[in-house]
Amino acid sequence: MTRGHSTTPPGVRGVLIGCGFFAENQLHAWQALPGVEIVAVCDRDPARLAQVRERFGIDEGHTDAGRLLASCRPDFVDIAAPTPAHAELVELAACAGADIICQKPFAGSPAAARALIETCRHHGVSLSIHENFRWQHAIRRVIDTLRQGAIGRPFFGRISYRSGFDVYRAQPYLARAERFIIEDLGIHLLDVARALFGEVDRLGCEITRVNPDIRGEDVATMMLHHDSEVTTLVDCSYATRLAEDPFPQSLIEIDGSHGSLRLAPDYRLTRHDAAGGQDTREVAPTPPAWSTAPWTPIQESVSAFQADWLDARRGGRPVETRGEDNYNTLALVEAAYRAAADHGTVTPERWPPA
């Protein structure tokens, strides 16, 4: 039982595996949600495990995931461990009969993703991917406004995330990654593109490395053509120097048959209509009590994703970013790296596989 909480009988019992940098956001968000309880945590590093247990008041902790699952028999498992550990952990959780939330990217390749999806289907458990960018408040308002038909049929989009923020200080492993900005950040923007405009039938990409002290790419520009006939530019950079850095905001431009949408810095969403008029509204996130700048929009989106996951579980509906859906986002990442290597255009894989 988690110390310091109400004596009300717990509703949904979960465990979290992986106590690294981002996992603390998930723990904060779970503890703020009524009707769910994180009963135990797991990490291979005993010191980090002890620190997280103490900070969040969690009595039970394990360094071995198999022992954790045997001891707790949870309703769900939240996997926040690195991607190479996902296959083993998903298999363990599925065999234990627990529903699964897994951090992105949930597999290292589409083939590995297919195997994990089939494993969860075989054991009758749900597989949801912790893809939270589409749950950021500002981005959600863009998605909702577009789906309401406010600018007619869209034909062009741009999703941009350009910053010089030192992401390596808190996450030094990013500097050592062979694949960096597309796999770590671009995957979020590609998922937003799918949420806005649907599936992608072809993709081109160019990448470069500006920072000489990292191994992977820190700049990427992708052009997507969607089944819906929308062309989207997705560009991301951690090498862009600006006097006012918008980190961690994503900026969005959409042109449609009856107007345009612009999500600008400082969470200003403007709709331009066909008659030359415009209206602007603020779509800033409401900071969770536990959030800290500059991470507020991301931390708020963690809460939003987890709240929707819980609502979906109670209502018996699939979450938006279930494994089968997120397979298509992961396939875009693979297609982007192939296109960058060949300087050509790639047709991405799609679920269900051919």
Whether the Cβ atoms of residue 109 and residue 348 lie closer than 8 Å to each other: no
pLDDT at 289 over 80: yes
pLDDT of residue 9: 40
Whether the Cβ atoms of residue 224 and residue 203 lie closer than 8 Å to each other: yes
- Residue 261 tokens, joined: 């949408």
pLDDT at 1 over 80: no
DSSP 70-99: HHH--SEEEE-S-GGGHHHHHHHHHHTT-E
pLDDT of residue 215: 97
Dump pLDDT digits (tens) for 222-281.
999 999 999 999 999 999 999 999 999 999 999 999 999 999 999 999 999 999 999 999
Mean pLDDT of 291-302: 96
- Residue 205 tokens, joined: 């990409």
For residue 132, name the pLDDT band (cuts at 50, 70, 90). very high
Radius of gyration (C-alpha) of the chain in whole angstroms: 20
Whether the Cβ atoms of residue 186 and residue 336 lie closer than 8 Å to each other: yes
pLDDT of residue 256: 98
Domain spanning 12-130, CATH class = alpha beta
pLDDT of residue 3: 42
pLDDT of residue 353: 82
Mean pLDDT of 18-47: 97
Domain ranges of the chain: 12-130, 134-286+323-346
For residue 7, name the pLDDT band (cuts at 50, 70, 90). very low
pLDDT of residue 220: 98
Alpha-carbon separation of residue 74 from 96, 125, 169, 190 (angstroms): 8, 12, 34, 32
pLDDT of residue 179: 97
pLDDT at 300 over 60: yes
pLDDT of residue 5: 42
Query: What is the DSSP-derived secondary structure letter of residue 133?
Result: G
Give the whole-angstrom CA distance, residue 91 versus residue 211.
37
Q: What is the pTM of this model?
A: 0.95
pLDDT of residue 8: 38
DSSP 141-204: HHHHHHHTTTTSSEEEEEEEEE----TTTT-GGGGG-SS-HIIIIIHHHHHHHHHHH--EEEEE
Mean pLDDT of 145-168: 97
pLDDT of residue 314: 94
Residue with tokens 């963690």: 302
Dump pLDDT digits (tens) for 167-226.
999 899 999 999 999 999 999 999 999 999 999 999 999 999 999 999 999 999 999 999
Alpha-helix residue ranges (DSSP H) falling in the chain: 23-32, 46-56, 65-72, 86-95, 110-123, 137-147, 181, 187-197, 296-315, 323-342
The domain made up of 134-286+323-346 has a fold known as Dihydrodipicolinate Reductase; domain 2 (3.30.360)
Alpha-carbon separation of residue 33 from 10, 24, 110, 304 (angstroms): 11, 14, 33, 10
For residue 4, name the pLDDT band (cuts at 50, 70, 90). very low
- Let me know the angle formed at the C-alpha of 85 by 83 and 86, rounded to the nearest 5 degrees: 65
Query: Percent of the chain beyond pLDDT 70?
Result: 97
Whether residue 348 is preceded by a cis peptide bond, meaning omega within 30 degrees of 0, is no
